[in-house]
Homo-oligomer: A and B are copies of this chain.
C-alpha cells in the first residue's frame, strides 16, 4: 500500500470554497504513479516501452469536502489484476476523516491505443500484490 500526501492548491478550489470534485481524479493519478514506483516499476519505464495503462473505469464516492491548504492523505492498493487490466482502490482522508473512496480500472495499450497484454514479469509481480483474483473476462 502506498500513502501519498497532497497539499491542496488554491487553483483546485471552486466558488463553493472547496476542492472541485474533478481534481480528485488527478489526485488518484498522482498516487498511482507513486504506487508503481514503490511496488512495480516507474510509469515512465512503461511509457518508454510504449505501454500505457489507459483508464477504462473510474468511480469516486465523495464523503466530505476539503479546502485550500488541507492535506489529503491518499492510500492506494491493487484490488485485482488480469492479463491486460488491473483495478486500484483508494481511500482519501483528511485530518483522520475519510473524505472519499475511489477505484479505477486500467487496460494496457500501446502507443497507438491498441489493447496489449501486461508484460509477464509485471503481471506476476502485480498478482502477488493483488487482494483478490480478477473478475472473469466478459
> Which chain A residues have a beta carbon within 8 Å of chain B's beta carbons?
9-11, 13-18, 20-22, 25-26, 29-30, 33, 42-44, 47, 52, 54-62, 65, 67-69, 109, 111, 113
Contacts and interface: CB of A to CB of B under 8 A. Distances in A.
Q: How many copies does the complex hold?
A: 4
A21 B60 CA distance: 14
B10 A15 contact: yes
A31 to B, nearest CB: 11
Nearest to A52: B16
Secondary structure class of chain A's binding surface, majority of residues = mixed
A59 B62 contact: no
Given A9-B26, A16-B111, A22-B22, 8 more contacts: A11-B22, A13-B14, A15-B67, A54-B62, A58-B60, A58-B62, A59-B59, A59-B60
